[in-house]
Structure 1
């Protein structure tokens, strides 16, 4: 499997999941917390508080339209990354999409109809480099608009920070 292929269980969420309150309590943004090991314990605190205990690395959050809407705080995306999961959604506001990329969270932001492909707990496989999504239980799959190559490379690097450090190292070596 590629480094950007995840396989696990689907965690299906509705339209209009808010970044503050549903995905992560606002207090973590106000505290400016950025440690994944802290934030992962509070993912979906307002919507599905048992998620951090039940989710496993490789699982995929399947979101509806406007997933992570509202104030573009990065804490929810860092928390998801800390859980070791990926994210596919019917749509994501641009600020939250940018935060997912910055955090190094494997993400596909434009997957119309993806929620209808899954029920909670079904086996899912997502290739984030090619934007192929498979329901392993039903034997179905779909392709969605892939990320631009430079964004795939950012995910491979682990997010904006590691990508920036890589560029600085290359500049210093030249």
Structure 2
């Protein structure tokens, strides 16, 4: 495993890239260093490219983004995943999963509001309170489906399948003079 691969695998659970450090190399004992400015207090296995490679912060961040797994909403969101957490009073708020242990899930609030900022954690029993972040198109579709459902069910019963078919027909332009922006 290369030094870059080791850093992407190990640093997120250890607080991420160290503050003020521009590049990292590895000592023979596995510790990380940046010249005389920084030395880690933890050790990794020795990288396959030990002694030949240094990793910059930019390289690390690009590799970290590329390595982030997609989450389909099943089970727990993986570490590094940006998703939404359902708050008690303010609906869904964006978060990034930082750590998952048997005791709980640690995450960082991404909305930068006074009520929701910094690091937070919940017990694993709250895992159902996380969902993937929906795209703008998904949000518009959800709102349209909600309004269609409300309107059609006021005049009788309609199934979810019928609503989905109606939405698909409107979205495909099969119903004249009606379109979804």
TM-score in terms of structure 2 length: 0.24
Q: Radius of gyration: which is bigger?
A: 2
Higher relative contact order structure (alpha carbons within 8 Å, sequence separation ≥ 6): 1
TM-score in terms of structure 1 length: 0.24
Say which structure is richer in strand: 2
